[in-house]
Amino acid sequence: MSAATKGVQGSGWGVLVADLALGLVKAQTGQTMDDLVRELSLLLAETAQSPPA
């Protein structure tokens, strides 16, 4: 198996895990998937802009 193939498979698992996690949070909070993705995007952007501790 080539490195490129391993990368594609690895990213597929990451997407699956992220989708499952968002689905669980959606079920618990009642938020729409759009709201969850928007909130996650804002948190990631804030984290990327924050200097390391």
Convert the pLDDT of each residue in 6-37 to its tens digit. 554 556 788 888 889 888 999 999 999 899 88
Helix or strand run (H / E) with residue 38: helix 33-49
Q: How many separate domains does the chain show?
A: 1
Higher pLDDT, 3 or 36: 36
Find the farthest-apart pair of alpha carbons in the chain and give their distance in angstroms, rounded.
Answer: 42
Higher pLDDT, 14 or 39: 39
Give me 21's structure tokens: 């996690």
Rounded to an integer, what distance in angstroms lies between the CA atom of residue 9 and that of residue 20? 17
Rounded to an integer, what distance in angstroms lies between the CA atom of residue 44 and that of residue 47? 5
Residue 21 structural domain: 3-49
From first CA to last CA, the distance across the chain in angstroms is 39
- Specify the pLDDT at position 29: 93
Residues in the chain: 53
- Specify the pLDDT at position 30: 94
Give me 40's structure tokens: 């996650």
Residue 49 — pLDDT band, cuts 50, 70, 90?
Answer: confident
- Specify the pLDDT at position 38: 92
